[in-house]
A and B are shown apart, each in its own frame.
Chain A
C-alpha cells in the first residue's frame, strides 16, 4: 500500500463538515472497492463519513469516553487491516458496526464481567404490563428543545442496564437485524427478542417521567 504525502496530509486534516455522515450513499461500494485496492484517500473518506456514528455507537455501549475512543480507533484499524475479507455484496457500514460493537463489548465486559450472564427468556406468566399509564400529551418536539431532548436521552440511556442498552443500540439505533445482533453478541435470537422487548419497555418507562402530560422536569 503506497500512501502519498498529499494523502497523508488529507488524512491528518480533513474537514468534518465536508460530507454529512448520517446517510448511506450510493458511492459507498466504489469507495470500498478503491480502499480495498489500496486507495488510502478512499478509506479516509469512509472514516470521515462514519466516525461520528461509530463513536456514538461505542459511547452508547461503553458509556465511558476513554473506552469509546479506544474501541472506535481499534475498529477503524481492524476494518483497514481486514478490508480484504469484506464481502462487497453487503453493506460496509453494517460490517463496520459489527467490528466496532465487538471492540466496545470487549471493553464493557472487562468492566462488567457478568454481561449477558442471565440470558433467560421472559417467563410465560410474568406480569409485564406497565402500571399507571398516562397520556404523554404534546409531542416531545413541542415540549423540549433539541438539546434538552438530547440531554434527557443521554440520561435515560445512561440509566439502562448494559444488557438491555446494548441490544437496544444495535437493533434500534444501528438497525442490525435480530440475527446480526444475536451473532454480534453471541446470544440466541430468542434472547435478543426477549431483551429487546424488556429494553424497549424500560426506555418507555424512563421517558415517561419526562413526557407524561402536565409534567416537565
Chain B
C-alpha cells in the first residue's frame, strides 16, 4: 500500500470498518512509515479532543424560553 492508499482508508481504519486483510496491510505499512503513523495517531487524538468537549451550560434565558414554549405546548395538548 502507498501512503495515499493508507490515508484514503484512515477513517475506515479508525472505525474498524475494513476487512481483516486490509487492516493487516495498513498495520504493516504503519509499522514502517513514521509520517502515516503520526497522521493516524494525530487524527485519532483530534477526534478524541472533539468527543471530550463538554456541552456548555445553557444560558438561563434560553432555558426559560424553552420551558415556556413547552409549557404552552403541553397546555394546548391537554385541551
Partner of B55, one of A21, A81, A122: A21
B38 A51 Cβ-Cβ under 8 A? no
B45 A52 Cβ-Cβ under 8 A? no
CA distance A52 to B69 in the complex (A): 17
> Hey, which chain B residues are within 8 Å of A128, CB to CB?
4, 7-8
> Hey, which chain B residues are within 8 Å of A47, CB to CB?
66-67, 70
Contact code string B17-61 (vs A, CB < 8 Å = 1, else 0) = 100000000000000000110110011011101110111111000
Cβ-based interface call for A204 (8 A): yes
> Hey, which chain B residues are within 8 Å of A197, CB to CB?
8, 10-11
Cβ-based interface call for A203 (8 A): yes
Q: How large is the interface on A (under 10, 10 to 19, 20 to 34, 35 or more residues)?
A: 35 or more
Contact code string A141-155 (vs B, CB < 8 Å = 1, else 0) = 000000001100100
- On whether A200 and B58 interact (CB within 8 A), knowing A128-B8, A130-B7, A193-B11, the answer reads no
> Hey, which chain B residues are within 8 Å of A44, CB to CB?
70
Number of A-B contacts (CB under 8 A): 135
A77 B70 Cβ-Cβ under 8 A? yes
Which A residues are closer than 8 A to B by beta carbons?
1-3, 8, 11-14, 16, 21-22, 40, 43-44, 47, 51-53, 55-56, 69, 72-73, 76-77, 80-81, 122, 127-130, 133-136, 139-140, 149-150, 153, 168, 172-173, 178, 193, 196-197, 200-201, 203-204, 207-208, 211
Say what secondary structure dominates the interface of chain A: helix
A136 B51 Cβ-Cβ under 8 A? no
Closest 5 CB pairs of A and B: A52-B55, A197-B11, A56-B55, A204-B46, A204-B43
